Chains A and B, each alone.
Chain A
Amino acid sequence: MNETAVRLSGVTKSFGTHTAVSDFDLEIPKGTILGLLGPNGSGKTTTIRMIMAILLPDAGSVELLGGSPDMSRRSRVGYLPEERGVYPKMKVIEQLVFLGELRGLARGDARQRAAEWLDRLGLGDWAAKKVQDLSKGMQQKVQFIGTILHDPDLLILDEPFSGLDPINQDVLESIVREESARGKTILFSTHLMEQAERLCERVCMISRSRKVIDGDLKELKRRERTGAVAVEFEGDPGWLDRAGVVERERAGDAWHIPPNRVRPDELLAAAVRDGVMLRRFEVLEPRLHEIFVRHAGEDAAGESTEPAMRPKGGAR
């Protein structure tokens, strides 16, 4: 078996004069959680729709679960579109059974699984209600169940967390982690970098229809380190001047030192030399947003809804 769940090579898609996705490459190894990140309108949904063969690329190729995205492969995918859609007049359980049967589950099996999932997501009492009688958030959970009901190998979730309250976001996150632990591959898109930071093993950042950067999240962060340091210590900060630090910033109990000509290891050596009582010494990892801005440019990030950057692990 091929070890890649999704592979896009040189994929391009235009709508009229507007290029939605341009020369896009992406590889998702099996069993990973990949976050597709980017501001609104950057091409995330178009990319996902091409993976699902809802849109056909103008150029390039799409490979899904080791082959062309035909119906038999697509039926092994659980797809949650960005635009939430339900049959408003159907009963919750019947809607789920319908979706399950459509993907090849037997009727009884579909019913049983749907009931289990409804219980798990706290919707057990709503099974016999019409979908239109549910709140938006509940409808979204129903739709998520519809996505996962047939136990797909690959989950493709387009903005799965938007519109959910924090408690339900947590529930959804834990299910995603669990599915990942069971060996499933998960691709989800979000414009919330923090969410991705919590959940992803890999990220792919996209801006203005082009890929900015992608790769393993930990590795990416290591690679993108700038040498910024956070230190906490007892006593006088004079030693910092002696070590050659020009710029520094107080953040609670800690001092943040932006990258400068003093390397972190030299700074640590200076602290030891001066006999400083260190409580914390951390080479700061860049936050995803910083990485994004660094590669896509500040103006591109302006479209993002992310709040102003804050170094990770900052003083509390």
Chain B
Amino acid sequence: MRQVWVVLRREYLERVKTKGFIFGTIAIPLLMIGLMAVNILIAVQVASSDRELALVDFTGRIGEEVAGRLGELGYDIELMGREASLDELDRQVIEDELEGYLVLDDLTLSEGVFSYRAKNSPGGTRVALFESAVNEIALDSYLATISTGEALRSLIEGGRLEFESVLEVEDQAEAEAARRSGIAFGFGGAMFLYITMLLYGAFVLRSVLDEKRNRVVEVVISSITPWRLLLGKVLGVGSMGLTQMGIWAACAGLLLLVAAPMIAPQIPGADLARLAEFVPGPGVLLLLTAFFLLGYFLYASLFAAVGAMCATEEEAGQAQFPIIMLLIVPFVLQSATLGGGSMKWMDWVALFPFFSPVMMFPRAVEGAVPWWMTGLSLVFMAAALVGTSWVAGRIYRVGILMQGKRPTLRELVRWVREA
């Protein structure tokens, strides 16, 4: 066991000390935080334009409402009636006292057309916001003048799906929230599992291949059994992965707990209470950990076998293709059924151990499959792990000391039999 520990520690330290690790671990969250910050900044900026807008209402009917709506959206609006002098407003715009002004007239009431006079053409968001606000209010105002207005109004507004669970649920709203966050966790978790297995699996492959190409493995293997070497290596890379994820999780936690409450009030429409829906509970985390560990070991053993039977990076690139397909296929299938697909046979596909992390985990958190199916998939994965590590261990045992060309499938079978 001490030897496994020695290998593990070497593998871990040599990885964690590299520039790539430090960069990847620190830079990725920083980049994401930066992106979010820029987004928030833009949102805040759009909401509170420094300079004033004016609204000239020639209709005398909807001006107040439009001004009120735009005010809600964060614009600083000065409402004016027909007494306004457009020449005077133009002058103000030219002299930068005013950013621009809107003009509502009879055409606005009948067709929803209105004008915006300014030096610069408005941005896309602004156009969309103004158009929808004005149009809606013009429509309302028209509907109010006809007798069937009320009925029409609800039809126009309509197209709303109200989900009703057939199960006895105490609080429908709560159930709905749980379903929403279930989908979010399911998707996020599947994505996470897919990326980590691909990434850390590739690390294991590299590590095995490097040791083989350096020929250092011949020295090492004279003092340690291949099995222990492989175990130490996989555990070392896995620990590195856990460290990385730990750092990321800490960053995310910090962001949610500290930064979010500070920023949220400045974003229009943000609801801090809904943020809580996106903090996963202990059950979800436990399930994620189980799927991660089993999935990682499963794929790491496959990647290690590929590393052991190749001699160059180019070869390894080709040889790992089938394994990558094993990861991509469930990802594609899962994307197709995103948000609670109803194809029942897919649940059975998700039981295939190599597909389970990406396909079964989201089903489990969404509550789309009965609990025993989740359990069964974990058992299957564990069983598959026993099988792959047995086969991979044997391929590894023979492969790491072989130089020269890649073995054919028949030779591989011989390795496994004879090792």
Contacts and interface: CB of A to CB of B under 8 A. Distances in A.
A80 B214 CA distance: 14
B14 A85 contact: no
Nearest to A102: B223
A155 B6 CA distance: 23
A102 B215 contact: no
Nearest to B224: A102
6 contacts: A54-B221, A85-B215, A86-B214, A87-B211, A99-B220, A102-B223
A77 B217 CA distance: 16
Interface string B336-375: 0000000000000000000000000000000000000000
B218 interface: yes
A168 interface: no
A242 interface: no
A102 B3 contact: yes
Interface in A36-89: 52, 54-55, 71, 74-75, 77, 79-81, 83-89
B214 A74 contact: no
Contacts of A75: 223
A74 B222 contact: yes
A160 interface: no
Contacts of A98: 6, 10
A90 interface: yes
A31 interface: no
Interface string B221-232: 111110000000
A102 B6 contact: yes
Contacts of B211: 87
B214 A54 contact: no
Chain B interface, DSSP helix/strand/loop, else mixed: helix
Contacts of A83: 215, 218
B1 interface: no
Interface of B: 2-3, 6-7, 10, 14, 18, 211, 214-225, 401
A101 interface: yes
A314 to B, nearest CB: 41
Contacts of B214: 85-88
A143 interface: yes
Nearest to A99: B219
Most buried by B among A55, A80, A83, A102: A102
Contacts of A86: 214, 216
Contacts of A85: 214-219
A81 B218 contact: yes
Given A89-B14, A90-B14, A98-B6, A71 B225 contact: yes
Contacts, number: 57
Which range holds the interface residue count of chain A? 20 to 34
B253 to A, nearest CB: 33
A103 interface: yes
Contacts of A103: 223
Given A52-B222, A71-B225, A84 B215 contact: yes
B218 A54 contact: yes
A234 B224 CA distance: 66
Nearest to A80: B219
A103 B401 CA distance: 20
Contacts of B217: 85
Given A54-B401, A74-B223, A101 B218 contact: no
Given A85-B214, A86-B214, A102 B220 contact: yes
Contacts of A77: 222
B224 A81 contact: no
B218 A102 contact: no
A35 B215 CA distance: 24
B393 to A, nearest CB: 16
A81 B6 contact: no
A197 B401 CA distance: 32
B216 A102 contact: no
B10 A54 contact: no
A286 interface: no
Nearest to B214: A85
A132 to B, nearest CB: 10
B215 to A, nearest CB: 3
Contacts of A81: 215, 218-219
A146 B10 contact: no
A147 B211 CA distance: 17
Given A101-B6, A102-B3, A102-B7, A54 B216 contact: no
A54 B399 CA distance: 11
Contacts of A54: 218, 221-222, 401
Most buried by A among B216, B222, B224: B222
Nearest to B212: A85
Given A83-B218, A87-B216, 20 more contacts: A74-B223, A75-B223, A79-B219, A81-B215, A81-B218, A81-B219, A83-B215, A84-B215, A85-B215, A85-B217, A87-B214, A88-B214, A90-B10, A90-B14, A98-B6, A98-B10, A101-B2, A101-B6, A102-B223, A104-B2
A84 B219 CA distance: 9
Contacts of B225: 71
A88 B18 CA distance: 13
Contacts of A146: 219
B407 to A, nearest CB: 12
Contacts of A99: 219-220, 223
A79 B225 CA distance: 15
A49 to B, nearest CB: 8
B231 to A, nearest CB: 14
A104 B224 CA distance: 10
A86 B214 CA distance: 6
Contacts of A89: 14, 18
A75 B223 CA distance: 5
Nearest to A70: B225
A82 B223 CA distance: 16
A98 B220 CA distance: 10
